[in-house]
């Protein structure tokens, strides 16, 4: 089967990866992807900062697929992008190969790329090994209109999920997790509505369940399940799922819990299945009590059962907070989507948190946390840029900064203790008593090192910067005579030549 060739880019420059977001968006619409772009813009709105600085968004979808059993992933995009994504996936522990369908200008504009993708899917569809194959269009194939929706929906029982995850349409890799999770839920919901489906592993028969939405620290789901037990509720498989059959168990819940509030497409599928969705999460005393009450209301649990759940959960959290109070000024920023929950837990534990920034957008499911934080004087910045996070850190002068890699680097250069949010904060419990204890431990271990940072900054002052860069110099480096003037003239001549040729 062949398809109509999408219109070629207006020029080679516009078709390159550095053509610009507006160029790509216009090309995608001209190539028939207007509906896709409208959906992405509606689900993942921009502003106030247009697009946060983070890794390629498609990594989020790639990560979700690679963490599922019996699911294969095929990427369609520029070779440099595919290399970077696969490298990052293996850096983060992926233990399986990623498929790649290469292309050139001819196969891209003639439609042959789509045929190559279809052939790769057919060759990979082995029902004894796979439940599903995920095909991800990156920027260039999306902008060129490669129609993944024309792929077979299943081959020999192997489901085929085709999604567009362009960097010019999905702002962060966190939201790209939702692109694939939502597409899988939509497919699984259709299967469940059509007839009997496979039973999820570890299902608890006879109990209504709560389905958590968001990638969680492995120890958090059992802790949440223990909080729900006094209300006669059990925990459903979480979204993103670990295998295909878990999607059915998640959709069969009584209540969905948007613990990470940016999963817009996933929430849409739970609501289409008739499931109420509750925001926030069981963090700290106030947060846990409010969350249990909200879950109880949504699941029609009697008030006395909710009171039993609070009576069992809250004393342990209170004890953990009182045992390790946090006495520090902290700024929080990141792109995982749990930043508001972390800030809320820190404030409850006694910390001063003047600023929390998240690269994710404001949604209705983060409103409970935003309202609670703002009522206590915390500035909440959605779609925060690195520049905003850095400005807040410099203005606040915190005892500890939690943030992204470049913010952590800048903080340490200034002698401020700092931690990378993704690898250090997200890799620990967040909910219940375990979360309160873990957060206190993180803050205590880092703020104790403030004096050590000051000594290090003083010792290394000026090393590796400006004229002191490099090694082996006994005195400050000296340019050869006339070197800077020669370089300045050379740059001017090169710029004039480029202007004359129009390059």
pLDDT tens per residue, range 354-410 = 999 999 999 999 999 999 999 999 999 999 989 999 999 999 999 999 999 999 989
CA distance 244 to 227: 26
Determine the pLDDT at residue 503: 47
Q: Which of 254, 281, 290, 282 is nearest to 270 (CA)?
A: 254
Look up the CATH superfamily of 209-319: Nitrogenase molybdenum iron protein domain (3.40.50.1980)
Report whether pLDDT(16) > 50: no
- Could you give the maximum distance between any two Cα atoms of the chain, in Å? 85
Distances (CA, A) of 471 to 26, 230, 466: 49, 64, 12
Confidence class for position 449, pLDDT limits 50, 70, 90: low
Identical topology for domains 12-171 and 324-457? yes
Q: What percent of the chain shows pLDDT beyond 90?
A: 66
Question: Are 102 and 80 a contacting pair, CB within 8 Å?
Answer: no
Gap between the terminal Cα atoms of the chain = 40
Q: What percent of the chain shows pLDDT beyond 70?
A: 88
Tokens linked to 291: 């969350």
Cis peptide bond upstream of 348, omega within 30: no
- pLDDT tens readout for residues 185-225: 999 999 999 999 988 887 667 899 999 999 998 989 999 99
Determine the pLDDT at residue 138: 95
Phi, psi of 107 (to 5 degrees): -65, -25
Question: Are 101 and 117 a contacting pair, CB within 8 Å?
Answer: yes
CA dihedral 406, 409, 410, 411 (to 10 degrees): 120
Distances (CA, A) of 340 to 47, 311, 347, 381: 18, 25, 11, 10
- pLDDT tens readout for residues 132-187: 999 999 999 999 999 999 999 999 999 999 999 998 999 999 999 999 999 999 99
CATH 3.40.50.1980 applies to domain 12-171: yes
Q: Which of 242, 245, 247, 252 is nearest to 273 (CA)?
A: 252
CATH of domain 324-457: 3.40.50.1980
Q: How many CB atoms lie within 10 A of CB 299?
A: 21
DSSP β-ladder status, 158-164 and 154-155: antiparallel
Enumerate residues 6+ apart whose C-beta is below 8 A from 150.
Answer: 1, 3, 114
Q: How many CB atoms lie within 10 A of CB 240?
A: 27
Confidence class for position 469, pLDDT limits 50, 70, 90: low
Report whether pLDDT(59) > 80: yes
Confidence class for position 49, pLDDT limits 50, 70, 90: low
Kindly give the residue spans of alpha helices, DSSP state H, lying in 220-259: 220-228, 244-251
Spell out the domain ranges in the chain: 12-171, 209-319, 324-457
DSSP-derived 3-state class of residue 9: coil
- pLDDT tens readout for residues 297-348: 999 999 999 999 999 999 999 999 999 889 999 999 999 999 999 999 999 9
Q: Structure pTM?
A: 0.86
């Amino acid at each position: 089967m062949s398809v109509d060739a999408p219109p070629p880019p207006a020029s080679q420059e516009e078709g390159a990866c550095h053509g610009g977001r507006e160029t790509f968006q216009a090309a995608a619409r001209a190539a028939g992807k207007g509906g896709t772009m409208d959906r992405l813009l509606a689900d993942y709105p921009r502003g106030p900062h247009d697009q946060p600085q983070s890794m390629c968004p498609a990594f989020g979808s790639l990560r979700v697929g690679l963490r599922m059993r019996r699911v294969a992933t095929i990427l369609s995009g520029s070779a440099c992008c595919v290399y970077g994504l696969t490298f990052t996936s293996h850096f983060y522990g992926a233990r399986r190969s990623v498929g790649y369908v290469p292309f050139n200008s001819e196969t891209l504009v003639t439609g042959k790329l789509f045929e190559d993708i279809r052939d790769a899917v057919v060759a990979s569809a082995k029902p004894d090994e796979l439940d599903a194959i995920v095909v991800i269009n990156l920027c260039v194939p999306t902008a060129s209109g490669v129609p993944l929706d024309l792929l077979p929906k299943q081959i020999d029982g192997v489901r085929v999920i085709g999604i567009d995850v362009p960097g010019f349409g999905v702002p962060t890799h966190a939201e790209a997790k939702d692109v694939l999770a939502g597409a899988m839920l939509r497919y699984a919901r259709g299967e469940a509505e059509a007839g009997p489906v496979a039973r999820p592993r570890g299902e608890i028969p006879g109990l209504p369940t709560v389905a958590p939405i968001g990638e969680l620290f492995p120890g958090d789901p059992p802790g949440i399940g223990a909080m729900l037990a006094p209300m006669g509720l059990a925990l459903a498989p979480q979204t993103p799922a670990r295998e295909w059959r878990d999607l059915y168990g998640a959709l069969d819940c009584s209540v969905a819990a948007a613990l990470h509030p940016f999963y817009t497409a996933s929430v849409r599928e739970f609501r289409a299945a008739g499931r109420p969705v509750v925001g926030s999460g069981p963090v700290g005393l106030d947060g846990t009590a409010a969350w249990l009450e909200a879950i109880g209301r949504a699941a029609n649990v009697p008030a006395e059962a909710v009171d039993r759940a609070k009576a069992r959960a809250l004393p342990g959290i209170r004890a953990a907070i009182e045992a390790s109070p946090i006495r520090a000024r902290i700024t929080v920023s990141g792109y995982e989507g749990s930043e508001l929950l972390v800030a809320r837990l820190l404030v409850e534990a006694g910390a001063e948190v003047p600023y929390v920034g998240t690269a994710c957008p404001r949604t209705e499911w983060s409103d409970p946390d935003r309202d609670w934080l703002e009522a206590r004087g915390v500035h909440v910045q959605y779609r925060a840029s690195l520049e905003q996070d850095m400005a807040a850190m410099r203005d606040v002068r915190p005892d500890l900064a939690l943030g992204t890699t470049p913010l952590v680097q800048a903080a340490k250069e200034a002698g401020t203790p700092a931690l990378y949010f993704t690898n250090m904060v997200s890799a620990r419990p967040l909910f219940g008593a375990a979360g309160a204890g873990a957060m206190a431990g993180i803050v205590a271990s880092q703020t104790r090192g403030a004096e050590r940072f000051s000594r290090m900054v003083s010792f290394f002052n000026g090393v590796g910067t400006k004229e002191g860069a490099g090694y082996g110099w006994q005195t400050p480096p000296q340019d050869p005579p006339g070197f800077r003037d020669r370089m300045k003239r050379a740059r001017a001549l090169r710029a004039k030549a480029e202007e004359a040729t129009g390059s």
